[in-house]
């Protein structure tokens, strides 16, 4: 069996927080069987956001994205589980909500790409970098869920 200790970074963007979707999004990850190991409500600095989106710095929407993400609170989270990065991305849906299938977070809850409510790591490397950027090691809680045996063989 593959390692179940894979972790991903998930952030509920300011539009998701302002619309009161935090609980719904957490519910979906919990119901899937993933384990929450870190979470905080934060108003991210522009420096943190520029670093987070550094791979997009040459794109025309970069400055607006940083400004938008700095416009309100963000719920930053770390989730753990088997294939959590790939599965989490499927749960989020496509970046553009119009391309997202019903049943996905963006397919059910979003209309426009500029307000797509959630970010999720797209690879193991980006997950590690994003987790380290947003959380200190002391903020990651290591525990065994009582549901573990009911989720994994």
Catalytic residue among 52, 70, 119, 148: 119
Verify whether residue 70 is a known catalytic residue: no
The answer to whether the annotation marks 104 as part of a ligand binding site is no
Q: Sheet of 35-42: strands edge to edge?
A: 35-42, 74-80, 7-12, 118-120
The answer to whether the annotation marks 83 as part of a ligand binding site is no
Element (H, E) at 30: helix 22-32
Alpha-carbon gap, residue 65 to 61, rounded angstroms: 6
The answer to whether the annotation marks 32 as part of a ligand binding site is no
The answer to whether the annotation marks 61 as part of a ligand binding site is yes
Phi first, then psi: give them for residue 107, nearest 5 degrees.
-65, -30
The answer to whether the annotation marks 34 as part of a ligand binding site is no
Known binding residues for ATP: 13, 61, 89, 95, 106, 116
Known binding residues: 13, 61, 89, 95, 106, 116
Active site residues: 119
């Amino acid at each position: 069996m593959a390692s179940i200790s894979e972790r991903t970074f998930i952030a509920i963007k300011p539009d998701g927080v302002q619309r009161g979707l935090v609980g719904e999004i957490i519910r979906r990850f919990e119901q899937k069987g993933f384990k929450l190991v870190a979470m905080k409500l934060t108003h991210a600095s522009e420096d943190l956001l520029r670093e987070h989106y550094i791979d997009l710095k040459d794109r025309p929407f970069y400055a607006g994205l940083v400004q938008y993400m700095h416009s309100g609170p963000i719920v930053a989270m770390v989730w753990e589980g088997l294939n959590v990065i790939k599965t989490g991305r499927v749960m989020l849906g496509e970046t553009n909500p119009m391309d997202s299938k019903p049943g996905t977070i963006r397919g059910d809850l979003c209309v426009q790409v500029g307000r797509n409510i959630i970010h999720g790591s797209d690879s193991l490397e980006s997950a590690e970098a994003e987790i380290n950027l947003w959380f200190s090691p002391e903020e990651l809680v290591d525990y065994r869920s009582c549901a573990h045996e009911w989720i994994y063989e």
